[in-house]
Structures are given as structure tokens and as C-alpha cells.
Amino acid sequence: MKVGVPKEIMPGETRVAATPETTRKLRAKGLAVAVENRAGEGAHFTDDAYRMAGAEIVDHVSALSADVVFKVHKPTFDEIRHMKSGSVSVSMLDMCHDDGTFDALADQGVNSFALEMIPRIARAQAMDTLSSQAGIAGYRAVLEAARLYGRFLPMMMTSAGSAKPARVIVIGAGVAGLQAIATARRLGAQIWAYDVRPEVKEQVQSLGAKFIEFELGESGTGQGGYAKQLSPEARKKEEQMLTDELKKADVIISTALIPCMPAPVLITEEAVRGMHEGAVIVDMAAATGGNCPLTVPDQVVIKHGVIICGITNFPALMPSDASNFFARNLYNFLMLMIEDKDGELRFRDFFADEITNMTLITHQAKVRFETTKMAKKKGAG
């Protein structure tokens, strides 16, 4: 059985779905590994490093025609054409946007797995790419804020005078938000955090931040631990109360997402107008419309004197460790899927395990409509 690792072709993507470390582990399990030439370049893994780990270096088409194809992003239509019938594709599949990819994968006979559908259960944590990448994003977002903010985050007492610690507000205390709190705390900022799911209060406080609480008259907790959309009345209340809090912030890191929906607008133009000159907003929801209407995806803009950062792919700015984590997640996922039967590697029954059953999107030339419907309802990536 051979694992193929094509170079990512999405603009700005630096990650790679297998590293020399996971190549070595795959080889030790008896798998062959075919890595496209320069696939690891963006993440600082050379072809030689893959060769030394036991991979063969191949061209794009050969990497795509393996038995198992590991990718970060969903394969393009052109890539799908080169995949072989009966092969397995493992990648993010952008489940909220059906642009014909599912049908193309099914028509090609590819059995495809969507990593964003991995259930958020303890047993699946080692395979959970959403979490591993969100943690990296939360860390990097704070560093980006610190870079853009023209002042200190920690309190500084020097012979030239002192500086007050920055007041950082983190909106959304999911995986990215909690990592942002931890990182801002390490940098010495004073942190407040808000989430529409009240149950995260304890986690926020355990990281040394203060929890901002509003009486909205309803809970924002939806299915599977994700947030749900609030009623228009509760949204209005939330917006008003949050606007007053946000005006006091030096730095805002906003991470609020609702699966398969546009990001909720939480940082109003009025809030931005109320912030001081040189304050910073890092809007981590920029890819899905932004938590601030003034955010421009993939740009840093200054509005009403406030610096607003709309980076949409933070993990790509940490390519080596983002690839290390992503690749380990994929290795663990593949191990769940295969077994050694009398010295021969085979796929297990994909329906027998909750994790592979929930992530399998196309199988034997069919799109699993129930799975994709569920993805859109529950929300994934």
C-alpha cells in the first residue's frame, strides 16, 4: 500500500500533509511513501530529508495516483482526475461548500474522508486537525497582534518610565480562543474573554483571564459543543453590551464562529470608533465574513485609527509545526483505517468505527448524502 503526498497548490499554503517524521513511521508500518518533489519546501522539509526517511520523490501525478492520498486542502478537479478508482483520499473537504467536489470524487471512485468531520470525542483527539490547527492559529494571532501593537503587552518598569499592561479581549473561547488567552497571558497582558457558551467560563478563568458575562435571556450552546445562532433579540443585546466592553480594549482577538454560517458580527463600527488610536483587532473569523464588518480578508487595514488584521490562514505562517501536527493527525487517522492481515496491509471496514464512518464522504462511487447533510447541519470547517 502506497501513500502519496502531493504539494499543496492553494495560494499561500505552506503546509504539507506528511513530514519526514511521519514518513519514517509509515515506512515502519510497511507502507511505501511517494512525496511530490518540493512538497515540503514551504514547511522547510527538503526532498533529501524525505528520502532519508524512506520516501521516493515523485512528480505531481504520481503522488496523486497512490492508494492513499494525504492532502491539507480538498483536491482540485484536476487533481481528482489523476486519482485512481478505489483509492482513499484524506484531507479537509470544506464541507460547508459543495462546489461539485463530492460528486467529482464519487465519479472517480475515490473513497474520500473529510478531516473536519472527525467527532470531537476523546478517542479522536490525536486525529483532530481542526483542533491542532486552531491551537496554532490562536497562538500566532496573538503574536501578530503584539507585532502590530505599538506598545508593550506586559507591564514594563524601566528607567525611562513605565508602561501599563495591555488590556486584551478574546472573543470566542473555543480551541483558538483558549490558546490565544494562554499566549497573551504568557506575554503579560491582562485578559478578558467572552463566549456565548456560558460553560466555558471555568476554562477561561483557569487560564488566568476574566470572563465577561451578559444576560442574553438564552444560551448560545448548540449541538456537539458548537455555538448556535442567537435569536435577533439576543443578538441585539449581545451587540450593544459587547460594544461598550470592546471600546476599552487595547487588543481584540476575535475567533467567534458558527458552523456553516457567516461569522457573527460582534465588533461593530461603533465599537471600533470608540477604541483608541493604535489599538489592534485580529479578526480570526476573516475567512467567513469577519466578526468585524471593517475587516478585509488577508489585509491589515487602519479604520478610525484602529489596526485591523484579517489574516485567513494563520497555520500557514507556522508551517513547520503546523505540518508536524497535521501530519501526525493524519498518520493516527490512517492507523485507525488499516490492518495487517497475514502480512498484507488492508483497509478495515470503514463503517465499523464511529470515526471513519462519520468522516467518510464518498464511498464506492456514491456521495454519502446523509453524512454531507449532517455536516451542513452540524457544521464542519
Ligand X SMILES: NC(=O)c1ccc[n+]([C@@H]2O[C@H](COP(=O)([O-])OP(=O)(O)OC[C@H]3O[C@@H](n4cnc5c(N)ncnc54)[C@H](O)[C@@H]3O)[C@@H](O)[C@H]2O)c1
Q: Tell me which residues are annotated as active site.
A: 120, 125, 128, 131, 226
Q: Are 98 and 375 in contact (CB under 8 A)?
A: no
Applying CB under 6 A, the span of 83-91, 102-110, 121-129, 145-153 interacting with ligand X comes to: 121-129
d(CA 33, CA 55): 5
**d(C-alpha 225, C-alpha 32), whole Å:** 38
- For position 197 contacting ligand X by CB under 6 A, the verdict is yes
Beta bridge partners of 79: none
Q: What residue number has its CB nearest to ligand X?
A: 174
State the CB neighbour count (10 A cutoff) for residue 167.
16
Query: Given the complex with ligand X, which of 149 and 226 has the nearer CB atom?
Result: 226
Closest CB 183 distance from ligand X, rounded Å:
15
Stretch that binds ligand X, among 54-62, 206-214, 224-232, 317-325 (CB under 6 A): 224-232
Residue of the chain from 226, 326, 331, 333 that contacts ligand X (CB under 6 A): 226
Q: Does 174 bind ligand X (CB under 6 A)?
A: yes
Q: Which of residues 61-90 bind ligand X (CB under 6 A)?
A: none
User: At how many degrees (to 10) do helices 319-337 and 129-148 cross?
Assistant: 170
Alpha carbon of 336 to those of 322, 330, 348: distances in Å? Answer: 22, 10, 8
Q: Which of 253, 257, 308, 311 binds ligand X (CB under 6 A)?
A: 257
Whether 267 and 246 have beta carbons less than 8 Å apart is answered as yes
Which stretch in 40-48, 62-70, 170-178, 319-327 sits in contact with ligand X by CB under 6 A? 170-178
Which of 131, 183, 313, 324 lies at the binding interface for ligand X (CB under 6 A)?
Answer: 131
Q: What share of the chain is helix, strand, coil (3-state, %, to 5)?
A: 40, 20, 40
196 touching ligand X, by CB under 6 A: yes
Does position 145 interact with ligand X (CB under 6 A)? The reply is: no
Task: Point out which span in 70-78, 130-138, 318-326, 334-342 binds ligand X (CB under 6 A).
Answer: 130-138
**Cell numbers placing 224:** 456537539
Rounded to the nearest 10 degrees, how much is the dihedral formed by the CA atoms of 59, 60, 64, 69? Answer: 90
Binding to ligand X in span 227-246, by CB under 6 A? 227
Residue from 172, 290, 310, 315 that binds ligand X (CB under 6 A)? 172
CA 146 to chain centre: 21
Contact code string over 263-302 relative to ligand X, x by CB under 6 A = -x-x------------------------------------
Q: Nearest approach, Cβ of 160 to ligand X (angstroms)?
A: 39
The residue assigned the cell 467560563 is 201
What are residue 219's DSSP bridge partners?
none
Name the one range near ligand X by CB under 6 A: 98-106, 116-124, 273-281, 326-334. 116-124
Binding residue for ligand X, selected from 26, 39, 168, 171, defined by CB under 6 A: 171
Tell me if 66 sits within 8 A of 39, measured CB to CB: no
Per DSSP, which regions of the chain are E strands?
2-5, 32-36, 56-58, 68-70, 88-91, 111-114, 156-158, 161-163, 167-171, 190-194, 210-211, 251-254, 280-283, 300-303, 306-309, 338-341, 344-347, 360-363, 366-367
**3 binds ligand X, rule: CB under 6 A:** no
* Smallest gap from residue 208 Cβ to ligand X (A): 18
Q: Contact residues for ligand X (CB under 6 A)?
A: 120-122, 125, 128, 130-131, 134, 171-177, 194-197, 220, 225-227, 255-259, 264, 266
